C-alpha cells in the first residue's frame, strides 16, 4: 500500500517522476479529466483549512473523481468518542483514497496503519505537511528552472510550523542548498530538525535578523506564527508581528529572489508586496493543486 506521510526519504527519482506528471497535467489537463472516474477521495479535516482541503477536492474533481468528507469533526462520529482507527476503517471501506488533517502529530501515520486505501498526510499537528512541500517544490522548480544551488531564508515560526519541517527534510534530496533559519526567541527550529540537517551535511545558519539576511537570499520563505499551538496566549501576543515583509524591505532583496509563503498570512507579508513579480505565494496555491493531482494519480493507479 502506497501512502504519502512524509517526504523525509524522498528520492530524486520519485520527485522527478511526480513533477514530470505535474507538468504534463498542467499542459494537457483535458487528457486527465477522466483519469479518476469512479474513484472517491475522502477529505477528513479535524483542523481548519481553506487551501489544502479545497486543493485536494479540486484536484480530485479535475481528475474526474468524486469527493466526500468533513471539515468539522463535530459533525462526525469523533464527537461521539469514536477512535481515529475506527473512523479510518469505516471511511476506507467507502473511499479509494484518504487525505487527513489532524491537530495531532503522528495521526496520519496511525491512519495509514488502519486504512485499506492510500492515506495522504494533509498536516499532522506541528509535525509535517508534505503536500504543501510538493506545492513549494513545484513552485521553485517552475519559477527557478531547477531545485538546486540557492540560498533559502525560512522565517517565522520554525518551532511549530509543519511546513518548515516538511520543506527542510524534502530539500535535503537536492544539491547546493544553503539555509538561513530566521526565528524570534522561543520559536527556533526544533533540535531534531537540526540533527537531521547535520546528519545530511546541510549547510545552515541561524539568526533573528530577517532584514540583515534579505540581500543574500534567493528564496525568502515566510511563515505564520502558529497561534493555535501556543499553550500560553500571552506568548503568542508577544511574538506576533515578529517579521513583516514590506515593499520597502524588499528593495534590498535580489532582483530575481522568490518570495514564498504557504499561506494563510496574517501580517507576515504586507499587501504592497503582492504586485511584486518576485511574489510567488499565489503560484504555490495554483501549482499545489496540480501537484496534488499528480500525487493522487501516483497513489491510486
Scan residues 112-131 and list those touching ligand NCD (CB under 6 A): 123, 129
Q: Give the DSSP letter of residue 189.
A: P
Per CB under 6 A, 138 contacts ligand NCD: no
How many residues belong to the site for ligand NCD (CB under 6 A)? 11
Which residue stretch of 32-40, 172-180, 214-222, 259-267 sits at the interface with ligand NCD (rule: CB under 6 A)?
259-267
CA 118 – CA 98 distance, rounded (Å): 6
Question: Which residue number, 90 or 142, has a Cβ lying nearer to ligand NCD?
Answer: 142
Long-range contacts of 230-234 (CB under 8 A, 24+ apart): 230/160
213 binds ligand NCD (CB under 6 A): no
Residue 202 phi, psi dihedral angles, 5° rounding:
-80, 145
Rounded CA separation 260/279 (Å): 7
CB proximity list for 238: less than 8 A, separation 6 or greater: none
- Under rule CB under 6 A, residue 163 binds ligand NCD: yes
Q: Report in angstroms how near the CB of residue 155 gets to ligand NCD at its nearest.
A: 13
In the complex with ligand NCD, the residue whose CB is nearer, 176 or 264, is 264
For residue 238, state whether it binds ligand NCD (rule: CB under 6 A). no
Q: Tell me the closest approach of the beta carbon of residue 264 to ligand NCD, in angstroms.
A: 6
Q: Is 286 in the site for ligand NCD (CB under 6 A)?
A: no
Helical pair 84-92 and 107-114, crossing angle rounded to 10 deg: 50
Residue among 184 and 262 whose Cβ is closer to ligand NCD: 262
DSSP characters over 31-98: GGTTTTTT-EEEEEESS--SHHHHHHHHHHHHTT-EEEEES-GGGSGGGGT--HHHHHHHHHTT-SEE
Supply the minimum distance, in Å, between the C-beta of residue 184 and ligand NCD: 15
Q: Is 224 in the site for ligand NCD (CB under 6 A)?
A: yes
Q: Which is nearer to ligand NCD, 64 or 103 (CB)?
A: 103
- The string of DSSP codes covering 217-284 is -SEEEE----GGG-SSHHHHHHHTTS--B-TTGGGGS-TT-EEE--S--SSSB-GGGTTSTTB-HHHH
For position 132 contacting ligand NCD by CB under 6 A, the verdict is: yes
Binding segment (CB under 6 A) for ligand NCD, from list 10-18, 66-74, 252-260, 261-269: 261-269
Cβ pair 148, 177 in contact under 8 A: yes
Binding segment for ligand NCD among 106-114, 202-210, 212-220, 256-264 (CB under 6 A)?
A: 256-264
Q: Taking CB under 6 A as the criterion, which residues in 41-60 touch ligand NCD?
A: 51-52
Provide the binding-site residues for ligand NCD, judged by CB under 6 A: 51-52, 123, 129, 132, 162-163, 224, 262-264
Amino acid at each position: 500500500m502506497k501512502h504519502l506521510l512524509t517526504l523525509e526519504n524522498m528520492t530524486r527519482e520519485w520527485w522527478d517522476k511526480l513533477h514530470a506528471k505535474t507538468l504534463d497535467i498542467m499542459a494537457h489537463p483535458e487528457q486527465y479529466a477522466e483519469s479518476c472516474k469512479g474513484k472517491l477521495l475522502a477529505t477528513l479535516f479535524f483542523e481548519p483549512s481553506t487551501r489544502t482541503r479545497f486543493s485536494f477536492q479540486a484536484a480530485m474533481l479535475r481528475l474526474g473523481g468524486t469527493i466526500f468528507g468533513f471539515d468539522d469533526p463535530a459533525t462526525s462520529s469523533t464527537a461521539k468518542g469514536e477512535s481515529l482507527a475506527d473512523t479510518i476503517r469505516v471511511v476506507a471501506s467507502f473511499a479509494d483514497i484518504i487525505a487527513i488533517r489532524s491537530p495531532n502529530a503522528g495521526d496520519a501515520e496511525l491512519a495509514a496503519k488502519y486504512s485499506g486505501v492510500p492515506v495522504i498526510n494533509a498536516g499532522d499537528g506541528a509535525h509535517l505537511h508534505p503536500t504543501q512541500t510538493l506545492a513549494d517544490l513545484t513552485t521553485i522548480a517552475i519559477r527557478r528552472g531547477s531545485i538546486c544551488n540557492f540560498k533559502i531564508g525560512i522565517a517565522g515560526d520554525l518551532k511549530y510550523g509543519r511546513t518548515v519541517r516538511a520543506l527542510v527534510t524534502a530539500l535535503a534530496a537536492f544539491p547546493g542548498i544553503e539555509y538561513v533559519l530566521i526565528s524570534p526567541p522561543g520559536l527556533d527550529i526544533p533540535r531534531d530538525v537540526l540533527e537531521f540537517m547535520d546528519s545530511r551535511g546541510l549547510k545552515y545558519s541561524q539568526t533573528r535578523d530577517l532584514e540583515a539576511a534579505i540581500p543574500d537570499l534567493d528564496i525568502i520563505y515566510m511563515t505564520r506564527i502558529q497561534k493555535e499551538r501556543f499553550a500560553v496566549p500571552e506568548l503568542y501576543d508577544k511574538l506576533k508581528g515578529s517579521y513583516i515583509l514590506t515593499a520597502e524591505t524588499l528593495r534590498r532583496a535580489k532582483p530575481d529572489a522568490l518570495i514564498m509563503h504557504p499561506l494563510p498570512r496574517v501580517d507576515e507579508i504586507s499587501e504592497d508586496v503582492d504586485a511584486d513579480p518576485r511574489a510567488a505565494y499565489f503560484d504555490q496555491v495554483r501549482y499545489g493543486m496540480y501537484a496534488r493531482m499528480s500525487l493522487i494519480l501516483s497513489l491510486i493507479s
